[in-house]
Structures are given as structure tokens and as C-alpha cells.
Chain A
Amino acid sequence: MTRRKIVLRFDAANVDEPIIYRLARDYDLVFNILKANVSSQMEGSLVMELTGERYQEGLAYLKEQGVDVQPLNQEVVQNQERCTSCGACTAICPTGALHLARPAMQVEFDRDECVLCQLCVAACPVKAMEVHF
């Protein structure tokens, strides 16, 4: 029996597939969704705990569907020394974990809302968003 917390990232092409349903039905896996940010025809992300004997088969199915799967043993950290509060990450962050505090326009990072999609890492011009393992 395998039990793991994982992060799934969907793109606009596969977000409308009933992927989680198939994981449960075809691979007999128990899923517990911890965080989800999924909208029709948009890229999305999902953090969940997945449990079952056929865990590896389920993972292979996800990859086949073009879903990016990462283990949840990472943490995204805002390097306060480096962050200039430009704001370039704030409309990219899918959950609002990175947001502008108004009226000061200071970038704030709410770690509890982070789903580890790491879109901010690519969006940050000064490389202030870091992935820690």
C-alpha cells in the first residue's frame, strides 16, 4: 500500500478530462484533495493525497494524460531580500497566495494558499521565488 502527497498540474488541453474519477475507478486509488484550482479550459493545479496498491499504475496513467506530477516535499519560499514587490507574479499565481497588499502595493506571500505550481518561479524577473526541498 502506497500513500503519497502529490501535486498535479493540468494544462488547458487536459483539464476537462475526468482524470480523478478514472484514478479511483480504473486503479482503485483513494484520493483526498487538499487544494484545487481547476477551471474549464484553463491551466490548473491540484494537491492531493493518493493511496492504494496500484499507485504506480495510477501515476503512469497521469503522465500518459500529460498531467505533470510532483511530490509534495517541496516548499516555495519568497526571498524577502531579493523581492522588489514589482508584482509580476501576482496575476500569474493561480490561488492568490502571491498578492498585492493595497494601497501599499507590497507583494505578500501566503504560504498556506500555495499549491506549489511554481509558475511564480518562472515569472519572477529577479529570481526571488525559490523552491526549497
Chain B
Amino acid sequence: MTVRTYGEINARIRSGKVVVLTAEEAIELVAAKGLAKAAAEVDVVTTGTFGPMCSSGAYFNFGHSRPRMRMQKVWLNGVPAYAGLAAVDAYLGATELPEDDPCNSKYPGEFKYGGGHVIEELVAGRRVHLEAESYGTDCYPRKKLDTWFSLAEINEAVLFNPRNAYQNYNCAVNQSDRTIYTYMGVLKPRLGNAHYSTSGQLSPLLKDPSFRTIGMGTRIFLGGGTGYVAWQGTQHFPGVHRDAEGREFGPAGGTLAVIGDLKQMSPRWLMGSSFTGYGATLTVGLGIPIPVLDEEILRAATATDADLFAQIVDYSDAYPDRRPENLGLVSYAELKTGKITLLERQVPTAPVSSYPRAREIAAILKEWIQKGDFTLTEPAFTLGAAVQAAPARSLEDRSKE
């Protein structure tokens, strides 16, 4: 049963009559007026998330030096970028580290500076040190380059993140006797704390769990600018969590590949980050508008923290050993109280993804749409049923072909 189409929503955006609510506001409206009335009123629900997203990076075209150079090896502020592309293109990954970083040789390592920090400096408008080496060719004779550039001074800078916006994530705990250092933060021994990483009831892919509206070409808030969903993310497994009795506990692990013009983005929404003992990364701000095409879409978009669940995973053993077991499921409403009961112990909880910043993103996206600056795109294809058939594959150790 259609309530409205993309075309009708965009006509209302252009005429200034569109009704946009953040996911938090939409939850309140549905609670007050009921689903049917709310669906008749609301055109768009906005979402947001601001958390560390390791599978992020940017590609650049630096422009040609004189004499020309086919850059074979490239460093940006000492961080290697991948230059196995055309002459002056390179891709910088968020988790890349300087070659002389001590890493975990003095455990736990600090990982003070990496690709994500370079990206933050660039969007802050600062010049970055570009070093390049090559072997020299007849058409590209130059072998060495050492210069500085800012984003405004190069041809293209494009944020292109192969895996962002995890639909849901583990709640990480540590059952061992020593502190462990993970991409979920510092986990204290003997269930000393439990860390989770999502904006829950504001999180984009939790609000369109079956990908009815999100797909290739969806226009989004990305790093403070506008971006697009480019493809399904790597490890896109949009299944459903079930407990031992087979009861369903909501969405599991869909992901998105996203792309956008880095020159539009801001250091408030792209922050270089370091996880002690683990590595460097980029914290990314991302928000997606959900068109209320029918009541079911609004029902899903107004799921609350009490309806959404994380599975609790031991990062000292089961996770590193790639065993699928978990210690149960817990709702985000429980996690947000600051403590949960696990194995008859009270365990303090903490997020590693910023809820206040997620709320701010949903509000900014709402404002962009209300002002008429941001219309909604109908995806070329969505990322639901058609792509979820593929099972999660693992990599096995083999000694020969």
C-alpha cells in the first residue's frame, strides 16, 4: 500500500512543504498518534551515525608535475598511499600507518597517526606533504618529487569507503584475565566492561532493515558533505539475529560502500582516530534519509532502542578464533543504561560511537531537506533480498593451489 512516491516527496521538497522528522522525533510521533496517522503526515525520516569506520579512504589526482612523473610510490605526511593506478592517482586508506610506526612492538602501541589523520588534516584545509618516487620512463621522466598541497590545489579528492555504516554490531567483552586492546576499545579483564558501537534507534541501516529504500545511488550525508551509496559494502550480510530458540532479534550485518567529494567535507565529520594496541582509523559521520513510501517503512524506521539487539561476543577468545558463539543478546535500551547483567555479574557498558553526534547529523540532514537543498534519489537497485543470498565466506589456510 503506497502512501507516497519519491516523485511526490521531491515535489514537496521543492515547494517547501515537505515534512521531515529525525528518527527520534518520528518515534515520538508514532507513539502519540499511531502509525497510520504518522505515516500520512511524515514524508521523510532522517538518521545518523558517527563512529570509527576502518574501511574508509580517499583517492586523489594530484595534477601533473613538470617534468611529468608516473608516481610509483606515494607518501602523504609519511603515510604510504597506493599508487598502482594511472600516473598521478593514488588511494590513501584510513588504517595505513607510516612505515616507521612502532606498531605493537611496544605493546600496546599508540598508533598516533595514520591515513585517517591525513584525511582529517586535508578536510581541515591544511597542506599535506607529498613525496613520490618512480623509475622514470620516456614520457614520465621524473623519478623523485617532494612538495606540499592542499585539497583546493589538486584536481580530485574523493572519499570512497568500501565498508561503512554497519547495520548492527557486536557488544564486545573480555572474559580473560588481562586487559585487551581491540578495535572496540580497551576491554578490561573478567567482564570489566562491555562496549557497543551503534547509534541504535538513530542508525541508518537499522531503520531500513530490509533495504527497501537504500541502494545504489541513494543520496546521503557523508563527512559533512553530500555523498552517495556506491554499492553494497564488503561483508554485506543483512541477515537477522536469532537466539537459541530461533526467535528473531532484528537486523544483523548489512554494510554500505559510499562515495562523495572530499572537498565538500569537514573535520567535524571526518576525524582521524587511534585505538591503542589496535591501529589507526577514521571516524565517519554518515546519515541517510528514509522516504516514508508506506506504513511498513515508517514502522521499521521508528523501531526503538528497546526493539534493537546486539549479540555479546568475547573478544579475548571466540572472536579472534573465529568461532560464531556468543554470550547472548542484549537490547540497546539496556546497553544505554550504563550497565547490564551478564553471567550473573553487573558489567558497566559504554558506547564507542557518538550518540550526540548521530543526533546532530539527523538534524542537519533534516534541515538540508527542509531547505530544499537535498532531494531524495530512488536507487538503481536496493540492497535487500537480491544480494543476501550469498553466505558469509571464510578464508582457509592452504599449502598449495
Residues of A whose CB lies within 8 Å of any CB of B are: 12, 41-43, 84-92, 100, 102, 104-106, 119, 122-123, 125-127
Contacts and interface: CB of A to CB of B under 8 A. Distances in A.
A126 B283 CA distance: 9
A122 B188 CA distance: 13
Contact of A104 (B190, B349, B356): B356
Nearest 4 interchain pairs by C-beta: A91-B193, A91-B350, A105-B355, A125-B273
A122 B112 CA distance: 10
B273 A87 contact: no
B21 to A, nearest CB: 18
A106 B353 CA distance: 12
B356 A105 contact: yes
A84 B355 contact: no
Contact of B283 (A91, A106, A125): A125
Contacts of B353: 86-87
Interface of B: 50-52, 108, 110, 112, 177, 179, 185-186, 188-190, 192-195, 271-276, 281, 283, 336-338, 348-357
30 contacts: A12-B177, A41-B190, A43-B179, A84-B50, A84-B356, A85-B354, A85-B355, A86-B51, A86-B351, A86-B353, A87-B351, A87-B355, A88-B351, A90-B338, A90-B348, A91-B188, A92-B350, A102-B336, A102-B337, A105-B336, A105-B351, A105-B355, A105-B356, A122-B108, A122-B186, A123-B186, A125-B274, A125-B281, A126-B273, A127-B112
A91, A102, A123: most-surrounded residue (chain B CB, <10 A) = A91
Given A92-B186, A102-B336, A122-B276, A85 B357 contact: yes
Contacts of B193: 91-92
Nearest to A127: B274
A91 B273 CA distance: 19
Contact of A87 (B110, B177, B352): B352
A54 to B, nearest CB: 34
B276 A84 contact: no
Given A86-B353, A122-B276, 20 more contacts: A12-B177, A12-B189, A85-B357, A86-B352, A87-B352, A87-B355, A90-B348, A91-B350, A92-B185, A92-B350, A105-B351, A105-B355, A122-B108, A122-B110, A122-B186, A125-B52, A125-B185, A125-B275, A126-B271, A126-B274
Nearest to B199: A105
